[in-house]
């Protein structure tokens, strides 16, 4: 499936538009004018909630919270320093983060809406290019339960899972080399039926490696590129890899015409396998990929945009689900204590797998175009719901500064 541009490789939090997504809860953030005096502490604003002005600066982090209270409330975070900063509201005893706002510019006020119960809290200010500063501890007595919170995950926490995942990818690349060699041999041997049979297993093996694409670099385009952006379409010389071979196999091209593309594909896969030992995945991207793999599945596979004749989009979606599970397996120790919705996420993964497995009968995958409207809508809904749930994984695994 096509990979997102670098600009899309980011957490699903929409900081620029003013949103914070934390553990499945969405908190509105609005850009205001004025500083902490814009709202008297505890005053009820137009939104019907009490507001408290909070200073954001190295010397005055958290100042202004004089009369703590339980319940849902809004903190007006005003950056009085000369540098942009991010701010966490955390539990003092556990370090769990109840809310966060990134990119508060100098002189800017932004809002953080949270629900707080009994406990001890403090603001942490993290200026750009400076050490973190924790403000005074504030204690709340009484009140109901606090809103969602999670212990922050750091870059260091993700190193182990990332290394383990890289080892798993190495095994997948060994399998892929064998399968693309078999595909090349079938093509060069002039056996199109055998080549079509060999194409799908090889392609699905590659699709299962979804979280590693960012580390594959230019090799991904050579191996799994599409005609997107190519002036010549399927006849463009830059159209290479699995989909180029797919087009030829399912459109009656001769063995002579396909020999070079099949050989180039096998060579590119072998080169990727040989270079993988020196590759380094970004640990910070692992959680994001858990969400992104199926997000791209919905965008490209369930729309048929990557079908060049084989009708295998639903098989690819199933392989992408396997790829998502492989990432989640490495992240599970971190998620187990941070994501209360993890059991429900597991149920949705099983539900999606059952649905996709139903499209395979006697070794044949149903082409996307053969689904009636009801089944098409059901598939879109189930995958779309799973993508939404995985957004929380990406958010929780977005590394946070602690110093």
59 and 100 in one domain? Answer: yes
Per residue in 146-176, pLDDT (tens digit) is 998 889 999 999 999 999 999 999 999 999 9
Residue 8 has pLDDT above 80, yes or no: no
| Residues 236, 254 contacting (CB under 8 angstroms) | no
216 and 279 in one domain? Answer: yes
Domain count, the chain: 2
**Which CATH number covers residue 52?**
2.60.40
Q: Is residue 184 part of a domain?
A: yes
Average pLDDT, the chain: 89
223 and 268 in one domain? Answer: yes
Where among 82, 106, 140 does a domain terminate? 140
Q: Is residue 18 part of a domain?
A: no
345 and 210 in one domain? Answer: yes
pTM of full prediction above 0.75: yes
Task: Give me the domain span that covers residue 69.
Answer: 24-140
- Write down the pLDDT at residue 134: 96
Give the torsion sign (CA, 6, 8, 11, 14): positive
pLDDT band at 339 (very low <50, low <70, confident <90, very high): very high
Give ∠ CA 194-203-160 in degrees, rounded to 5: 145
pLDDT band at 402 (very low <50, low <70, confident <90, very high): confident
Q: Is residue 13 part of a domain?
A: no
Q: Tell me the C-alpha to C-alpha distance, in Å, between residue 224 and each of 8, 39, 116, 197.
A: 19, 55, 48, 18
Residue 29 has pLDDT above 70, yes or no: no
Residues 6+ apart with CB under 8 A from 254: none
Per residue in 266-310, pLDDT (tens digit) is 999 999 999 999 999 999 999 999 999 999 999 999 999 999 999
Per residue in 50-65, pLDDT (tens digit) is 999 999 999 999 999 9
- Write down the pLDDT at residue 236: 97
Left, alpha or beta for 309 (phi > 0: left; psi -120 to 50: alpha)?
Answer: left
265 and 233 in one domain? Answer: yes
Per residue in 182-226, pLDDT (tens digit) is 999 999 999 999 999 999 999 999 999 988 988 998 999 999 999
- Write down the pLDDT at residue 403: 75
């Amino acid at each position: 499936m096509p990979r997102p541009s670098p600009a899309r490789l980011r957490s699903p939090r929409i900081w620029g538009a003013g949103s914070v997504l934390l553990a499945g809860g969405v908190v509105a953030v609005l850009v205001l004018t004025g500083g902490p005096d814009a709202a008297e502490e505890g005053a009820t604003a137009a939104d019907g909630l009490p507001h408290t002005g909070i200073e954001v600066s190295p010397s005055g982090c958290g100042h202004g919270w004089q009369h703590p209270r339980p319940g849902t409330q809004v903190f007006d975070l005003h950056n009085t320093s000369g540098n942009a900063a991010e701010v966490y509201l955390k539990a003092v005893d556990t370090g769990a983060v109840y809310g966060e706002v990134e990119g508060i510019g100098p002189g800017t006020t932004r809002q953080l809406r949270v629900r707080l119960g009994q406990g001890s809290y403090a603001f942490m200010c993290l200026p750009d290019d400076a050490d973190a500063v924790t403000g005074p501890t504030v204690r709340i007595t009484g009140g109901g339960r606090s809103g969602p919170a999670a212990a922050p995950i750091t870059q260091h926490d993700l190193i182990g899972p990332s290394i383990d995942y890289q080892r798993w990818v190495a095994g997948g690349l060994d399998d892929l080399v064998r399968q693309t060699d078999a595909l090349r041999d079938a093509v060069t041997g002039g056996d199109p039926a055998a080549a079509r049979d060999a194409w799908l297993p090889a392609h699905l093996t590659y699709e299962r490696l979804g979280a590693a694409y960012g580390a594959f670099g230019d090799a991904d385009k050579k191996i799994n590129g599409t005609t997107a952006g190519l002036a010549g379409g399927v006849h463009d010389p830059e159209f290479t890899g699995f989909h180029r071979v797919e087009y030829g196999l399912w459109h009656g091209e001769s063995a002579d015409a396909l020999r070079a593309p099949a050989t180039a594909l096998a060579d590119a896969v072998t080169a990727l396998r040989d270079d993988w030992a020196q590759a380094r995945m970004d640990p910070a991207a692992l959680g994001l990929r858990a969400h992104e793999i199926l997000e791209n599945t919905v965008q490209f596979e369930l729309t048929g945009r990557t079908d060049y004749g084989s009708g295998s989009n639903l098989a690819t979606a199933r392989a992408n689900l396997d790829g998502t599970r492989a990432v989640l397996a490495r992240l599970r120790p971190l998620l187990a204590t941070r994501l209360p919705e993890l059991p429900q996420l597991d149920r949705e993964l099983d539900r999606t797998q059952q649905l996709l497995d139903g499209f395979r009968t006697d070794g044949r995958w149903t082409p996307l175009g053969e689904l009636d409207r009801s089944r098409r809508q059901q598939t879109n809904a189930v995958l779309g719901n799973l993508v939404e749930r995985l957004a929380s994984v990406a958010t929780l695994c977005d590394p946070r500064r602690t110093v």
